[in-house]
Amino acid sequence: MEVARQEAGYRPIHDRVHDFGEVEQTLNSKDRRLQASRCMDCGVPFCHWACPLGNKAPEWNDALFKGDWELAYRLLSSTNPFPEFTGRVCPALCEKACVLNRFNHEPATNRENEAAITETAFREGFVPVRHPERNGRKVAVIGAGPSGLAAAESLNMKGYTVTVFDKNEAPGGLLRYGIPNFKLNKAIIDRRVDILKQEGIEFNCGAAIECDAAFAAKYDAVVIATGTPVARDLKVPGRELKGVHFALEILSQQNRVLAGVEFSKEERITAKGKDVLVIGGGDTGSDCIGTAHRQGALSVTQIEIMPRPVDGPDDPANPWPNFPRTFKTTSSHEEGCTRRWNINTLEFLGEDGKLTGVRVQEIDWKPNPEGGRPIMVEKGKPEIIKAELVLLAMGFFKPEHSGYPENVFICGDAANGPSLVVRALASGRDAAVKVDKYLNS
Ligand SMILES: Cc1cc2nc3c(=O)[nH]c(=O)nc-3n(C[C@H](O)[C@H](O)[C@H](O)COP(=O)(O)OP(=O)(O)OC[C@H]3O[C@@H](n4cnc5c(N)ncnc54)[C@H](O)[C@@H]3O)c2cc1C
Ligand code: SF4
């Protein structure tokens, strides 16, 4: 408690907005160990409870504090198959539940410590390539996002012969084709996939699989980890205009461009020289903002239909040790953006088939006398926000699944609806346990 929380922070805005390199910086190892010393090894570590993977932060923080990076990595990877992903993109549920957060709102820097331990482990050769003994049984994993990769890793370690199928050209799911490079450099995914391949997992990319009875019969078990492919649309007049896109259209295309894929001028979606309106106030929207800045947008506005969240750090509706749903400013917001709440979208406006603006309406939410969802009421007059590019970032539908043979298991966002990388990893790992139990019962 004598050492203040120190975050590594982001690269300066004027520097980072001109490239897609990771925005987050790193501390030197002396300061990192000092940060690890802040973990108090509480009698009741709420971080264990809050982390969906049950990561043992007090244990690896202690090893890190003592300078034993190898032990720190061993402890960390005993519960987390891919700490290099969560170390970069996890919203750190553990930190919100940290006793220090309750005490003085300066929780231990678990997420950054996790990333530092993992990068050191890779650099120093502490990340082993393991060769498990085969048990003669075959499992297919459909979907190579974090949940599919976690299920595959876990099953492979149990001795199953695992083939991972993905409809995309490379593994990673939303890690590769959703989350922008400025949050997660794709070389980090390649580095892990290389290890998984050396450990015996076969990857079959560019293969869209329908998990019917014939497919399932070819394997002892099948894990479906296909995520949430259907995004929420906004079916208001003008939706067909050129310039209205789903968030993932621009995000995945930008990530592909950075991977060297070429698109024709007609196919390319870019914010360059445009007023951009992002509809949806969540994290996907924030990723659109950062992407639009880097592509050279003239201006970026983000609107959200729900009210502005309360200012933190405490959330009276969701107190410690729960995750606070408070007002959040991401690195992309810091880079510049007009943010508005309680705004409903009425119509997309255009000329010659091209988007020129969006007619919106300020609203209010009134309590519903019959209970349930509050009632939306209009406030003032509709207005027009000038925009040549609209990005719809309003979330994804939870898919329906039914009628699979009994050797088929579902995990990750496909099972639970849109969530977080850390939850996808935990769900993939749990699916592997279920498969193993099923095949050994
Ligand atoms: C823009 C964006 C940013 C995000 N940022 C964060 C963040 O910063 N931190 C965080 O924790 N979470 C974030 N998330 C959420 C996180 O990415 C997801 O919760 C997580 O990736 C879900 O993992 P998954 O493996 O279940 O599914 P996905 O990552 O969606 O992977 C599913 C895979 O299945 C494949 N697939 C689908 N159908 C088939 C088929 N029929 N045959 C073969 N393959 C198929 C897809 O190609 C895909 O590769 C973000 C999400 C989005 C959209
Ligand atoms: S995965 Fe997320 S919640 Fe779990 S220890 Fe790491 S940062 Fe915390």
Q: In this structure, are 382 and 279 located in the same domain?
A: yes
Q: Give the residue from 81, 96, 124 where a domain finishes.
A: 124
Please work out whether the CB of residue 227 comes within 6 Å of at least one atom of ligand 1.
Answer: yes
Task: Give tens-digit pLDDT for 123-151.
Answer: 999 999 999 999 999 999 999 999 999 99
Q: Give the residue from 124, 159, 192 where a domain finishes.
A: 124
Q: What angle do CA 49, 50, 51 make, to 5 degrees?
A: 100
Cα-only R_g, the chain: 23
Task: With respect to residue 3, please indicate whether it lies within any of the assigned structural domains.
Answer: no
Q: In this structure, are 283 and 416 located in the same domain?
A: no
Task: With respect to residue 369, please indicate whether it lies within any of the assigned structural domains.
Answer: yes
What's the distance, CA 377 to chain centroid?
33
Confidence label for 1 from pLDDT (cuts 50, 70 and 90) = confident
Q: In this structure, are 296 and 428 located in the same domain?
A: no
Residue type, 88: R
pLDDT of 277 above 90: yes
Task: With respect to residue 1, please indicate whether it lies within any of the assigned structural domains.
Answer: no
Q: In this structure, are 100 and 46 located in the same domain?
A: yes
SS3 205: strand
CATH of the domain at 349: 3.50.50.60
Please work out whether the CB of residue 89 comes within 6 Å of at least one atom of ligand 2.
Answer: no
Residue nearest atom 44 in ligand 1 by C-alpha distance = 166
Stretch 307-316: mean pLDDT, rounded?
95
Q: In this structure, are 42 and 142 located in the same domain?
A: no
Mean pLDDT, the chain, rounded, equals 97
| Pairwise CA distance, residues 231 & 233, whole Å | 6
Task: With respect to residue 205, please indicate whether it lies within any of the assigned structural domains.
Answer: yes
Task: With respect to residue 8, please indicate whether it lies within any of the assigned structural domains.
Answer: no
Instruction: Give me ligand 1 centre to Cα 172, in Å.
Output: 8
Instruction: Give me ligand 2 centre to Cα 111, in Å.
Output: 6
Please work out whether the CB of residue 110 comes within 6 Å of at least one atom of ligand 2.
Answer: yes
Please work out whether the CB of residue 152 comes within 6 Å of at least one atom of ligand 1.
Answer: no
Q: pLDDT over 90 for what percent of the chain? A: 98
Confidence label for 81 from pLDDT (cuts 50, 70 and 90) = very high
Tally Cβ neighbours within 10 Å of residue 422.
Answer: 24
Stretch 277-286: mean pLDDT, rounded?
97
CA-nearest of 271, 266, 236, 239 to 254 is 271
Token pair in block for residue 210: 């329908």
- Dihedral in degrees, nearest 10, Cα atoms 320, 326, 332, 334: -100
Task: With respect to residue 269, please indicate whether it lies within any of the assigned structural domains.
Answer: yes
Q: 380: which residues sit within 8 A by CB, 6+ positions away?
A: 361, 362
44 φ, ψ (degrees, to nearest 5): -120, 95
Nearest ligand atom owner, CA of 222: 1
Task: Give tens-digit pLDDT for 334-389.
Answer: 999 999 999 999 999 999 999 999 999 999 999 999 999 999 999 999 999 999 99
Q: In this structure, are 152 and 211 located in the same domain?
A: yes
Please work out whether the CB of residue 287 comes within 6 Å of at least one atom of ligand 1.
Answer: yes
Instruction: Give me ligand 2 centre to Cα 183, in Å.
Output: 16
Please work out whether the CB of residue 424 comes within 6 Å of at least one atom of ligand 2.
Answer: no
Question: What domain range is 149 assigned to?
Answer: 138-229+398-439
Task: With respect to residue 237, please indicate whether it lies within any of the assigned structural domains.
Answer: no
Torsional sign, CA 27, 33, 36, 40: negative
Stretch 304-327: mean pLDDT, rounded?
95
Candidate from 88, 142, 421 with most ligand 1 atoms within 8 A of CB, to mutate: 421
pLDDT value for 41 = 85
Q: In this structure, are 145 and 194 located in the same domain?
A: yes
Please work out whether the CB of residue 108 comes within 6 Å of at least one atom of ligand 2.
Answer: no
What's the distance, CA 67 to chain centroid?
30
| Pairwise CA distance, residues 382 & 395, whole Å | 25
pLDDT value for 151 = 99
Please work out whether the CB of residue 420 comes within 6 Å of at least one atom of ligand 2.
Answer: no
pLDDT of 68 above 90: yes
Instruction: Give me ligand 1 centre to Cα 396, in Å.
Output: 11
Residue whose entry in the numeric block shows the structure tokens 């894990």: 223
Task: Give tens-digit pLDDT for 191-216.
Answer: 999 999 999 999 999 999 999 999 99
CATH of the domain at 83: 1.10.1060.10
Nearest ligand atom owner, CA of 53: 2
Stretch 154-162: mean pLDDT, rounded?
98
Q: Which residues pair with 410 in a beta bridge?
A: 224
Provide the angle, in degrees to the nearest 10, between the axes of the packed helices 29-36 and 110-124: 130
Based on the structure, what is the number of domains in the chain? 3
Instruction: Give me ligand 1 centre to Cα 103, in Å.
Output: 35
Alpha helices in 90-131 (DSSP H): 93-96, 99-104, 110-124
Please work out whether the CB of residue 114 comes within 6 Å of at least one atom of ligand 2.
Answer: yes
Q: In this structure, are 83 and 207 located in the same domain?
A: no
Q: In this structure, are 266 and 201 located in the same domain?
A: no
Candidate from 39, 59, 94, 429 with most ligand 2 atoms within 8 A of CB, to mutate: 94
Q: Give the residue from 94, 124, 154 where a domain finishes.
A: 124
Q: In this structure, are 281 and 196 located in the same domain?
A: no
Task: Give tens-digit pLDDT for 226-252.
Answer: 999 999 999 999 999 999 999 999 999
Q: pLDDT over 70 for what percent of the chain? A: 100
pLDDT value for 43 = 87
How much of the chain is in helix, strand and coil states, percent to nearest 5? 35, 20, 50
pLDDT value for 220 = 98
Q: In this structure, are 364 and 296 located in the same domain?
A: yes
Residue nearest atom 4 in ligand 2 by C-alpha distance = 51
| Pairwise CA distance, residues 392 & 402, whole Å | 29
Stretch 158-178: mean pLDDT, rounded?
98
Q: What angle do CA 54, 59, 64 make, to 5 degrees?
A: 125
Token pair in block for residue 317: 């509706």
SS3 277: strand
Which atom of ligand 1 is nearest to 178's Cα?
Answer: 1
pLDDT value for 3 = 96
pLDDT value for 393 = 98
Task: With respect to residue 234, please indicate whether it lies within any of the assigned structural domains.
Answer: no
Q: 436: which residues sit within 8 A by CB, 6+ positions away?
A: 155, 158
pLDDT of 391 above 90: yes
Q: In this structure, are 109 and 191 located in the same domain?
A: no
